[in-house]
Amino acid sequence: MVYNRFRLRVLLRFMLLIAVTGVFLYVLLYQHWYITAFCLLLVMLGLLLDLFSYLEKTNRELIRFFTAIRYEDFTQRFPTEPKTGSFADLSAELNNTIAAFQRIKADKEANHLYLQNLVAHLRIGIITFNESGEVNLMNQAAKDLLRVPHLTSIQALQRISSELVEAMQTLENEESRLVVINHFEEQLLLTVKASTFRLQGQALKIISLQNIRSEMEEKELDAWQKLIRVLSHEIMNSITPVISLTNSIGTLVEAELVNREDHEAPDEEVIQDIRTGLQTIEKRSEGLLHFVEKYRKLTRIPKPRLQPLDLTELLKGIQQLLQREFQEGGVQLQVRLPSTPLPLSADADMIEQVVINLLKNALEACQESPNPQVEIKAYADVQENNRLKVEIKDNGKGIPEDILDQIFVPFYTTKRHGSGIGLSLSRQIMRLHKGSLRVTHTSPGQTIFTLVF
């Protein structure tokens, strides 16, 4: 609209200038009216000056407008009073555009301030930097954690930890790493996680830092307390009768062999009691040694040899292996597998060991149920980015809620002849595969163990 008016006014001035020029030539060449021609020449020069002034003023206003936009100077205003004449409409539109940019800038600054305050109040340290290592943002939590008041380049963190700098530079999107830092006589256990993105053509990386030492110490202390309780229970069960039996044998030896005044042969019954007691001590000592060997086995799990495999085919093989055992136990084994392959990179032997252990536990758990059933199901969970899952469900007597958090503690068992390392070993194997082993209840007496890869 404004541009059309501007063009029309320029066109009118130009046409008027052509008309006056035509009249000037006619008067000068055909009528020889030199005074009239001179006056028309002055009019022509006036019209040229007016056209030039009109265009120049428009250019000056446009230059001032674009300069204000370039330098984000939205305080500029253009006059819109009636005396400005034909420029009133143009000035009004320029003012409207300036006001729109001003609102956009205000919204941008408000959002920026909001995000700054949000990042500043996070308890997790946040550092962002570009490809050359120049730091764009560092919140107060990161400054307090690393005890750095100001940071312009991540290379400056070399004096704190070269491992931390290396992790910040090499971690890819959504990758994380655990870094230990000894800083100011304090040991930090940092989880370093990276996220990458591009902003206005520039590659940026966001690093989050969180000290999990206190949480790890708390969990570690809780795990040690649970383990010590179990170890104490097992050791006391073996040592207490050994000590009592040793005292009894010592008393027999003292009374029958050392303090006898006559030189008669010792009572055969006493000799047999001593022999039986020593055999019992030997048996209990072997049991304690076997217990320690199981503990060593639990702490020395080999690293998995990862190879591509089809989880569906692996579970079918396990089904064939255990089908007869389930039939002999009177338990129905249901296997629900997808028709398409479930590709996985894992150690087949280790995963088979975990699944077989869980299936045998489920077989034992539902022996006393009226209609014993065990179901194994494998699928890709679309709600968790297609992560592969294997569910093993039984309708046995279930696991009491008060011991649900203890079943993965090494050597803890509710079975009369159980070793208490099967579930703990299975969970460790899943963690070595960067997965997890979970247990849940869906209804009374129904237990589900889930392998998440």
Rounded Cα distance between 9 and 267, Å, is: 138
CATH among 1.10.1040.10, 3.40.1190.20, 3.30.360.10, 3.30.450.20 for 122-211: 3.30.450.20
Helices (H) and strands (E) in the chain, counts: 10, 12
Residue 390's nearest CA partner among 399, 401, 380 is 380
Rounded Cα distance between 348 and 299, Å, is: 20
CA atoms within 13 A on the CB side of 265: 3
Decide the pairing of beta strands 307-310 and 387-394: unpaired
CB-based contacts of 359, cutoff 8 Å, min separation 6: 318, 322, 333, 374, 376, 392
Which has more confidence, 441 or 231?
441
Domain ranges for the chain, please list them. 2-109, 122-211, 216-299, 307-452
CB-based contacts of 93, cutoff 8 Å, min separation 6: 2
Specify the CATH number of the domain 307-452.
Answer: 3.30.565.10
pLDDT at residue 230, rounded to an integer:
62
CA atoms within 13 A on the CB side of 57: 17
Q: Please, what's the b/e burial string for 412-439 (b: 16 or more CB within 10 A of its CB; e: otherwise)?
A: bbeeeeebbbbbbbbbbbbebbebebeb
Q: Percent of the chain at pLDDT above 90?
A: 2
Average pLDDT, the chain: 76
Report pLDDT digits (tens) over 43-81.
888 888 877 776 677 677 667 767 766 667 666 666 665
pLDDT at residue 366, rounded to an integer:
83
313-327 average pLDDT score? 84
Residue 5 pLDDT grade (very low, low, confident, very high; cuts 50, 70, 90): low
pLDDT at residue 89, rounded to an integer:
62
Query: Model-level pTM?
Result: 0.45
Residue type, 14: F
Q: How far is CA 72 from the centre of its chain?
A: 39
pLDDT at residue 196, rounded to an integer:
87
Rounded Cα distance between 206 and 201, Å, is: 16
Q: pLDDT at residue 220 above 80?
A: no
Q: pLDDT at residue 84 above 50?
A: no
pLDDT at residue 305, rounded to an integer:
85
pLDDT at residue 25, rounded to an integer:
81
Q: With contact defined as beta carbons under 8 Å apart, do 145 and 209 qualify? A: yes
Q: With contact defined as beta carbons under 8 Å apart, do 287 and 237 qualify? A: no
Helix (H) or strand (E) holding 21: helix 2-26
Residue 113 pLDDT grade (very low, low, confident, very high; cuts 50, 70, 90): confident
Report pLDDT digits (tens) over 138-177.
888 888 888 888 888 988 888 888 888 898 888 888 888 8
Report pLDDT digits (tens) over 340-369.
889 999 988 888 888 888 888 888 888 777
CB atoms within 10 A of CB 138: 22
Q: pLDDT at residue 267 above 70?
A: no
Query: Could you identify the residue written with the tokens 């299975």?
Result: 426
Q: pLDDT at residue 415 above 60?
A: no
27-46 average pLDDT score? 79
Rounded Cα distance between 258 and 251, Å, is: 10
Q: pLDDT at residue 295 above 70?
A: no
Q: pLDDT at residue 261 above 60?
A: no
Rounded Cα distance between 321 and 319, Å, is: 5
pLDDT at residue 49, rounded to an integer:
80
pLDDT at residue 83, rounded to an integer:
45
pLDDT at residue 260, rounded to an integer:
59
Q: pLDDT at residue 102 above 60?
A: yes
The most confident of 108-122, 320-334, 337-351, 420-434, by mean pLDDT? 337-351
Q: pLDDT at residue 307 above 80?
A: yes
Helix (H) or strand (E) holding 210: strand 202-211
Residue 241 pLDDT grade (very low, low, confident, very high; cuts 50, 70, 90): low
Residue-by-residue DSSP string for 224-249: HHHHHHHHHHHHHHHHHHHHHHHHHH
pLDDT at residue 266, rounded to an integer:
61
